[in-house]
Amino acid sequence: MYHKESVRIHKTLLVELDSLKGETTFRIGNISIQVEGKDGIGGLIEEWFGIWADKHRFNITNPKKQGSSQEFPDYYIGKDQSLLEVKTFDFSASANFDLANFESYCESVAHMPERVDSDYLIFAYRLEKSALKIENVWLKKIWEITCPSERWALKTQTKRDVIYNIRPANWYSDKTKYKTFASKQDFINALFKTQQDYTGSSYKTLYLENLSKMNKQ
């Protein structure tokens, strides 16, 4: 189900997991400080991952490093240019990263159904004082890390009745009220049902048309 290069990356990260420790050091002149603040750590782990993957000669490319300003993906993977997204979260809190802007995601999935098949590589870190440790790494599909919510068929970040982002389920916990979706189809149904309930119409028909074209290619 996952791209074979993603699987190799994930396995290698798990093999190295015990050594994935580090810290942030701030220096002026000959005085150095171990940084305890969490600001920006997610972005630094994502940047670190790109260098780590290059050093291991995995077949991934970062479109932003090639001058693209596109929003997604974080990486193209393998010869077939599959999509890989990298996410991080503080394991001492709940996973609360943005999977995607809700409306942009509906639109891009409708025009480009293969986006639903993106692989997600997710890093959980912990910072104790200044000591950083990667606690776990998951390889997931979007329907394995999303769920329904009280309010919508798909859990989203909603403020004052406005939907902003698609937010993750607690897929790594047993103690969660809402379980992740059982299949890609369940996720797609929840995505477009949420769009229908929210805006009064949905891109589901457009998605199905484009999916059918894609499958004929």
| CA quadruple 189, 170, 130, 62: dihedral, nearest 10 | -20
Question: Which of 74-77's residues contact partners 24+ apart within 8 Å by CB, and which partners?
Answer: 74/46, 75/50, 77/3, 77/5, 77/6, 77/119
Helix ranges, 57-183 (H): 102-111
Is the Cβ of residue 31 or residue 93 nearer to a copy of itself in the bound state?
31
Tell me the CA end-to-end span of the chain in Å, nearest whole number: 20
Binding mask 42-81 for a copy of itself (x = CB under 8 A): -xxx-xx--xx--x--------------------------
Minimum distance between the CB of residue 76 and a copy of itself, rounded to whole angstroms?
Answer: 21
Tokens 């189900």 label which residue? 1
Answer for which of 8, 12, 14, 24 binds a copy of itself (CB under 8 A) is: 24
Answer for which of 9, 20, 166, 169 binds a copy of itself (CB under 8 A) is: 20
Binding mask 106-145 for a copy of itself (x = CB under 8 A): --------------------------x-x-----------
CA 85 → CA 13, 61, 71, 121, 202, distances in Å?
15, 12, 11, 6, 25
Minimum distance between the CB of residue 208 and a copy of itself, rounded to whole angstroms?
Answer: 42
Per CB under 8 A, does 16 bind a copy of itself?
A: yes
Is the Cβ of residue 23 or residue 71 nearer to a copy of itself in the bound state?
23
